Amino acid sequence: MFGNWLKTGLLMAAIVALFGAVGMLIGGKSGMLLALVLAGGMNLWAYWFSDRMVLRMYNAREVDAASAPRFHRLVQDLAGRAGLPMPRVYIIDEAQPNAFATGRDPEHAAVAATTGIIRLLSEAELRGVMAHELAHVKHRDTLISTISATVAGAISAIAQFGLFFGGGNRDGERNAHPAVALLIMILAPLAAMLIQFAISRSREYGADRGGAEICGDPAALAAALEKMERYVHGLPLGPTEQHPETAQMMIINPLSGGGLSGLFSTHPSTEERIARLRAMASRIA
């Protein structure tokens, strides 16, 4: 566990350093310092407000025991089994079957599922999916994922700013070659996405294992992932297309329908995840 946190901390530091490097290209030392201060401020802002921002991005609506009794009761039961406070529960009106968790800590957590996943899965399978999301909450993955998504999105924005308005050293020092600066500004968002991939991968395996333990049915979670993998290819998730930096938050890659985004998935292989879960099921059978 400590090794996982250490690796994640180093990767988060790499994202912040990348943010500073782009600032250096745009404004020299002063630009780098400004970018690092901005990154620190954004991390603080993300700590307090990123969950609300993401839920707004997805037009998620909060539900309770009166408006969505079966789904709310399912989450409540799983939260009790996990020893967690009851999270806020949201539904997203999208056909693609997917779900995510967010929030800075278990006391301020929220879980969200699309209408597509609620319709597609059996109750046992849906329990497996929501248990996975609650495992993210229990492991405190949600804060890391939302902060990395926020800063990675900012790297893309500042790099685009540099491309459109140019950059340069304002401190009287020798500027980087324009072609090198241009290349870095193009590659910086890609590098940020690859760092997100590294952060997300091991945490998805951990949430699969933790979710299977919470719901007590690894085979049901494996079956859910198998169904979702079949359907996700033909059903785009609009908010993720507009904000691809949030794709890592989902239980299954919402951008896996093809194109370049599929080459840089923030998720490990679904087939490998299913195989691990089925092996886990066979051990406890």
CA 249 vs CA 41, 91, 141, 145, 259: distances in Å: 22, 15, 9, 6, 20
| 90 within a domain of the structure (yes/no) | yes
Q: Which of 73, 15, 77, 54 is nearest to 242 (CA)?
A: 54
Question: Is the separation of the CB atoms in 227 and 125 below 8 Å?
Answer: yes
pTM of the predicted structure, to 2 decimals: 0.76
pLDDT value for 247: 83
Q: What is the CB neighbour count within 10 angstroms for residue 258?
A: 9
pLDDT value for 199: 66
Min mean pLDDT across 14-18, 83-87, 136-140, 221-225 is at 14-18
Give how many domains the chain has, as a whole number. Answer: 1
77 compared with 196, residue with greater pLDDT: 77
233 compared with 6, residue with greater pLDDT: 233
| 179 within a domain of the structure (yes/no) | no
| 8 within a domain of the structure (yes/no) | no
| 235 within a domain of the structure (yes/no) | yes
Min mean pLDDT across 132-136, 193-197, 280-284 is at 193-197
What is the pLDDT of the chain when averaged over all its residues? 80
| 72 within a domain of the structure (yes/no) | yes
pLDDT value for 156: 64
Task: Please give the positions annotated as active site.
Answer: 133
Does 51 score more than 70 pLDDT?
yes
Tokens of 164: 């459109």
Does 258 score more than 60 pLDDT?
no
pLDDT value for 132: 98
Q: Which of 138, 139, 141, 123 is nearest to 224 (CA)?
A: 123
pLDDT value for 140: 84
pLDDT value for 278: 97
| 74 within a domain of the structure (yes/no) | yes
Tokens of 247: 């794709």
Q: The domain that contains 62 carries what CATH number? A: 3.30.2010.10
pLDDT category of residue 11 using cuts at 50, 70 and 90: low
| 19 within a domain of the structure (yes/no) | no
pLDDT digit string (tens) for 221-242?
A: 999 999 999 998 789 899 988 8
Does 20 score more than 80 pLDDT?
no
Domain span at residue 82 reads 50-155+190-284
Decide: helix, strand or coil at residue 174.
Answer: coil
114 compared with 246, residue with greater pLDDT: 114
pLDDT category of residue 135 using cuts at 50, 70 and 90: very high
pLDDT value for 45: 65
For the residues 89-115, what does the mean pLDDT come to? 95
Percent of the chain with pLDDT over 90: 44
pLDDT value for 109: 95
| 221 within a domain of the structure (yes/no) | yes
For the residues 85-112, what does the mean pLDDT come to? 95
CA 226 vs CA 204, 252, 262: distances in Å: 15, 10, 17
pLDDT value for 50: 74
For the residues 195-216, what does the mean pLDDT come to? 84
